[in-house]
Amino acid sequence: MKNSETFITTKDYLISKKSFDLVYNANLEMLRTNPQPNTDELYKYYESSEYISHTDERRDFFSRIYQVVKQWSLHKKTNLIYELNGSAGDLLDIGAGTGEFLKSAEEKGWKVFGVEPNEGAKKRAINKGLDLKSSINEFEGKRFDVVTLWHVLEHIPNLEDTISQLTHLVKTDGTLIIAVPNYRSFDAKYYGKFWAAYDVPRHLWHFSKKSIEKLFQPAFILKEIKPMIFDSFYVSLLSEKYRTGKKFSVKGIWIGLLSNLKGIFTKEFSSHIYCFKKGDN
């Protein structure tokens, strides 16, 4: 596929119902949402009670599934950061949402810091005793043992500037963890324009393994890629809802399972966790 060609056209199924093109970058094997809302407009695409990463509620089937999986994921995430760092230390979570991950890490001995621009989500985190900032600029000059972005990088408008800032926020030999959807997974290919993890225009970028590694070189060394196995089930169920209008579909469960089984051989799962170490450059 040639550079700057439209890879697929999809739409915002959550709020605006507007269509967006995903434009291919051949050098990075990455997709860009086009058009991208300007910074002043972006907030309105998050103004929905159905945008569940900004809430702790369990109102419907999808929010209940999301919250149950989130609790399991918190345990896995806190184990992962401890394993990669070797001990508890200073942790910065960018895009902290309602603060569940930071609260869980704090309870296990980490000194926690967070960034969350959404005021509603930030208020929920503050109610849990956390002090979140609105921008990573407020941490200028600080260094952390671990910096995490759990399904956040795809939302950031100023991608290159943010990656540059991350190189200064992570200590030498510190850990950077990036979790993002993978448009090369089986469930993405199966659902096409209905794939829920495209989530335009909230997701401004759509990454492959190659793009993530190239974007963070040479400051960071990729040490490990881990699958997020539950993402395929949640994303496939939501994709079936977009495709058929059904709130629940056994087929969504089946496609999620099939995506994971195929991922064992292709190494292309619905979402990946990229574990980086900061070099001394």
Total structural domains in the chain?
1
pLDDT of residue 54: 44
- The verdict on residue 233 lying in a domain is no
pLDDT of residue 4: 74
- The verdict on residue 154 lying in a domain is yes
- Residue 193 to residue 118: CA distance in whole angstroms: 27
Q: Which of 41, 75, 74, 68 is nearest to 52 (CA)?
A: 68
pLDDT of residue 64: 63
Q: For residue 93, give the H/E element and its range.
A: strand 90-94
- Residue 213 to residue 218: CA distance in whole angstroms: 9
Q: Encode pLDDT of 202-244 as tens digits.
A: 999 999 999 999 999 999 999 999 999 999 998 999 999 999 9
- Residue 109 to residue 120: CA distance in whole angstroms: 27
- The verdict on residue 142 lying in a domain is yes
User: What one-character-per-residue DSSP string does 25-59 give?
Assistant: ETTTTEEEEESPPPHHHHGGGG--TT-GGG-----
pLDDT of residue 277: 96
Which range of residues forms the domain containing residue 178? 6-228+268-278
- The verdict on residue 75 lying in a domain is yes
- The verdict on residue 214 lying in a domain is yes
Which residue positions in the chain have pLDDT lower than 70?
1-2, 48-70, 281
The domain that holds 153 is classified in CATH as 3.40.50.150
- The verdict on residue 252 lying in a domain is no
- The verdict on residue 44 lying in a domain is yes
- The verdict on residue 234 lying in a domain is no
